[in-house]
Chains A and B, each alone.
Chain A
Amino acid sequence: MSTQTLQPPAAPVTPRGRVLPSPVTGQELILVGVIAVLWVALALTTPAFLTAGSLQPLLVATAPIALVGVGMTIVIITGGIDVSVGAAMMVSSVITAKALVEQEVALPVAVLLAVAAGGLLGLLNGLLIAYGRVHAIIITFGTANLFLFLGLQIFGSRTVNGIPATLAFFGRGQEGRTLGLPHAFLITVAITAAAWWYLRHTAGGRHFFAIGGDPHAARLAGVRVQRRVLLAYVVTGLLVGLAACFLIAQGTSTLDQSVGSGKELAVIAAVVIGGTSIMGGRGSVLGTLLGALLVQTVTSGVTQLGWKSQLSDLFVGVFIIVAVGADLLRARARARRTS
């Protein structure tokens, strides 16, 4: 990333004269195709895959991963990564769940609280990464353990019991849907669409790509790199907070310390499968949404087919390797074209 400053700058305009990349990438088209084929295959082989009773919960389960995936995509586009999102989800969830039980707060207050908590944790990550100049994986690995400690302290060796149904608006049940569509998924789609437009059509959005491509060149071109990087982690934190509300809504009336555990890997998997380059500089939030949907389709599909549970891990692993492989091949092809 940073060792390329001596190379001649790549042409900012692609050979056909487009400034913007195409609205939908090849990877996204492939994902749409794969998901469509899987849905049809599952509809034919299982009794109820393609029914509302099956698709609605599937979309609800996809939402928190895809939502945090929007922030993670932006972070990875800037050349960073955030492995603390699972632990941050735990902290946001336990604070919110406690407020729901002990203060009996209303839905908007709970959401604000969760988002504020997540935003603060994201701010801490962002400040350390943007101004501390240590690589993001080291910083967020450190903060992940700090957040875990913080979350366990708040849990205080007890589960949070008797969580009221205040957040059922985001849940799997009847209250969580309007016209048959789950609210959690609608919100995720809306935020993904907004982020897609912002990243593609505003100067601020394009700056994230510039930073991931070459931070020094971006700085020389007048991009305020540190502010942009800080923003990427804060946005991720805010979305972690909202996703924590989704998690509480789709969990049980008891919250235990396993909440959020391993979610950072699920989110990064969705981002990578969605075609975002782990090296930074390229990526799309639309792909991430499709990646999350594919992973959940496979997990639900494996259960509905009556296959062994661990097969879903195998399939997700294969998807990640194929996606990264495709990304490397594309990068090589590009390098050949420009040299």
Chain B
Amino acid sequence: MRLNGTLARGVAVAAVAALALTGCTKKNETDGGTGTGATAGETYKVAFVPKLQGVPYFEAMNTGGQKAAKELGNVEWLYQGPTQADAAAQADIVRSYIQQKVDTLIVAPNDPDSMAPLLQQAKDAGIHVATSDTDAPNSVREVFVNQASAEGIGQGLTDALMTAMGGKGKYAIVSCGQTAENLNAWIKVQQAYTKEKYPEAQIVDVVYAGEDQAKATQMATDLMNAHPDLTGLVGECTSSAPGVAQAVRDAGKVGKVFTVGLGTPQSMKPYLADKSSSASILWDVENLGYLTAWAGAQLAAGKPFAATNNVSSALPAVAYDESTKTMLLGPALAITTENVDKFSY
């Protein structure tokens, strides 16, 4: 991992150096153009850097972004992420987009704190900056495209699990990256909401498995052993959601220990079918990608967001909150055996 990062950095430095050498004249041309009002027919380069590429979640966002680029007509959608959810590798890609002088740079940061100075650097270079999927709250980002409010997801997960558990009992959370801003925000809501609305229920532990499915499964198994009276598990991300369900299935505890999670529909399908997972809470990821591309184009064009925005036929009324500069995709979606086949990812 360490060595890997070092090499990636070396390659990126070389690539950036090459870009810097070839890009000198170009830089002067675009310097005057950014930030000013747009003329009709101009195309904006909107770059999105996911936490990692190649996973169905972010690939679905990419599909949505490409769709938006095609429909809006004035967006060139760029998409590149690291092959591992590594903050250093992600930073290299962000730097290369800064060097390319894209019009809008949108990031789903692996580590919000280390991303903040890079976003400042991008802003200083005249690039519009935004976050999507995961926020970097202490940064200069102009908008955060939020898939669902932390309340919506945290409460959706809790309600779905409590329905299965009968509103009471002990449960534990298997989370992923320990510094992931969005996961931690949802967990906070789950803790507060459980305490307030389900006084007979209790969260006994929160553990972190990284993006490793097998580790998430083993940790869920260990949690069931640590708490013999445990009746619920939450898989907080797309790798631990099927992981906790698999652990329950392997332990032969389907119907005794209930699980919910944030899993992509196709990966949850077999677990929803045998009831080792009661529900998956998610949102329409392709629409999130669409909204991200649209917001990027708005920023590049210098157009302000309205309180309610008509983005597309599928997104007729997207709310924008001026005080937090947050754009909200909509309410969270519960995926069950009934609607799982509607999603291709």
Interface residues in chain A, defined as those with a beta carbon under 8 Å from any beta carbon in chain B: 46-49, 51, 53-54, 57, 61, 83, 141, 144-145, 148, 152, 155, 157-159, 161-162, 171-174, 247, 250-259, 261-262, 265, 299-300, 303-306, 309-310
- Interface assignment of B306: CB less than 8 Å from any CB of chain A: no
Which residues from A are CB-within-8-Å of B267?
Answer: 159, 161, 252-254
Contact (Cβ within 8 A) B226 A258: no
Q: Tell me the nearest residue of chain B to A86, going by C-beta.
A: B1
Which residues from A are CB-within-8-Å of B83?
Answer: 148, 152, 257
Q: Please give the distance in Å from B65's CB to the nearest CB on chain A.
A: 14
- Supposing A157-B54, A253-B270, A254-B242 touch, asked if A303 and B226 sit within 8 A by C-beta, the answer is yes
Which residues from A are CB-within-8-Å of B269?
Answer: 161-162
Most buried by B among A53, A148, A161, A265: A161
Kindly state the separation between the CA atoms of A168 and B249 in the bound complex, as whole angstroms: 12
- Interface assignment of B252: CB less than 8 Å from any CB of chain A: yes
Interface residues in chain B, defined as those with a beta carbon under 8 Å from any beta carbon in chain A: 1, 3-4, 7, 52-56, 59, 83-85, 178, 204-205, 207-214, 217-219, 221-228, 239, 242-243, 245-247, 249-252, 264, 266-267, 269-271
Kindly state the separation between the CA atoms of A148 and B4 in the bound complex, as whole angstroms: 11
Kindly state the separation between the CA atoms of A300 and B223 in the bound complex, as whole angstroms: 9
Contact (Cβ within 8 A) B219 A303: yes
Q: Please give the distance in Å from B212's CB to the nearest CB on chain A.
A: 6
Kindly state the separation between the CA atoms of A57 and B223 in the bound complex, as whole angstroms: 12
Contact (Cβ within 8 A) A141 B84: no
Contact (Cβ within 8 A) A309 B178: yes
Kindly state the separation between the CA atoms of A61 and B246 in the bound complex, as whole angstroms: 14
- Supposing A51-B225, A252-B267, A257-B54 touch, asked if A306 and B239 sit within 8 A by C-beta, the answer is no
Contact (Cβ within 8 A) B211 A258: yes
User: Can you list 26 A-B contacts (CB < 8 A)?
Assistant: A46-B226, A47-B225, A47-B227, A53-B251, A148-B83, A157-B54, A161-B267, A171-B250, A172-B217, A173-B252, A174-B252, A250-B214, A251-B243, A252-B213, A253-B242, A253-B270, A253-B271, A254-B242, A254-B267, A256-B211, A258-B213, A261-B212, A304-B223, A305-B226, A306-B205, A306-B226
